[in-house]
Every structure is written in structure tokens, then in C-alpha cells.
Amino acid sequence: MSISLVELEDCHALLLFERQNKAWFEQHIPPRDDGFYSQQGVEEHIRELVLFHKAKLCYPMLIRNNEGEICGRINLNVSEADMSYAEVGYRIGEAYTGKGVASFALSLLLDYAKKTAGLKTLKAHALTSNLASQKVLENNQFKRIEKIHDFAVLHEISSDAYLYQREI
């Protein structure tokens, strides 16, 4: 398994991955606009991510299995106020859940964040109902530091989240 920065050449494969997992993702996170699920929509998305990456504000990665198939996404979103701090986000395709993909990808991202991006502190949020994501973070030595009430609204239901942090 590997992680790599997303590039325009990934457009077709990323579009397929996002379409295949649309219903799965929408069970856990707010839906994307319908325009995203087109060649043009994904190209625009990647172009925007590349611009943020050039500004060192985002490190958008694809998670690939040993056959080169996209099995997830993992990102670092850097704080403009403090360039040594970033927020971690990830989403794993339904067929790859429960197989250690997120934990392994996060371990690779931690190494990248320290050695390549020069970051010192990472934070992440996990909904209180998302035990799998909490486990991924805790397995990678993130510490739960705060409970945030009404963190997100999904399907008209408000959800709480835990804030996690790790120094690297």
C-alpha cells in the first residue's frame, strides 16, 4: 500500500472511486454537489487541490493498494495561521474498510508530515459515533483532547465529535 499526492492524471480513476463509493460516503459525511461526479467536476477539484498544495496549505493524497487501485483518500490541511499545524482527514472506500487501510495510510502520512511537509502538530476530528475512526487515530498515537458538541449535521441530525491531537 502507498500514498501519493493527487495529480490531474488521477482524474479518471478518482472519478470512478468517488462514484463507486458515493452512497457509502454519504452515510458518514455530507454529500458533494452533483456536479462533482463528472470528469469536469473531478478535474476542477484536483486543480484546486494542486493550487492549495503549491501554496503548502494542503497535501491531498490518494491511498492505493498494491495493484495501484485507489482504496481511499487522506489529506493534510495546513493552518494558514500556524504553518506547523495541520488537520488530518481521510475517507476509505467501502470495500476496503475493516482491513487496516486507514491505520496504515495514516502511519505513512505521519512520516510524510514530519519529513516532507515539516509539520509539528496534527489534529483530527472523529464523530463520537464513529468508533472505527477513533480506533484509527488512537492506534496512531493521537490523543483525545476535547469533545465538541454539535460538530456536524448529517441527514438533519446533529452529531458530536472528539478532537484528537498528536505531536510529531
* Rounded Cα distance, 36 and 13, in Å: 14
Q: Residue 75's beta-bridge partner residues?
A: 60, 89
Residue-level pLDDT at 27: 83
Q: Work out the pLDDT band at 16, boundaries 50, 70, 90.
A: very high
**Which of residues 64 and 83 earns the better pLDDT score?**
64
Contact 71, 95 (CB under 8 A): yes
Give me the torsion for CA of 114, 79, 34, 158, rounded to 10°: 100
What's the chain's average pLDDT? 95
Q: What is the pLDDT of residue 117?
A: 86
Give the pLDDT of residue 104: 97
Quick check: 93 and 37 in contact, CB under 8 A? no
89: buried, middle or exposed (CB in 10 Å: 19+, 13-18, 0-12)?
A: middle
* pLDDT tens for each residue of 61-73: 999 999 999 999 9
**Distance of alpha carbon 38 from alpha carbon 20, whole angstroms:** 13
Quote the CA–CA distance of 66 and 78 in Å, as a whole number.
29
Q: Where are the domains of the chain?
A: 2-167
Residue 155 in this model has a pLDDT that exceeds 80 = no
**Does this model's pTM top 0.95?**
no
Written out in words, the top-level CATH class of the domain with range 2-167 is alpha beta
Portion of the chain with pLDDT greater than 70, in percent:
100
What is the per-residue pLDDT across 24-51, written as a single tens digit (0 to 9) for each? 998 877 778 888 999 999 999 999 999 9
Query: How far is 122 from 7, CA to CA, in rounded Å?
Result: 24
Is the predicted pLDDT of residue 152 greater than 90, yes or no?
no
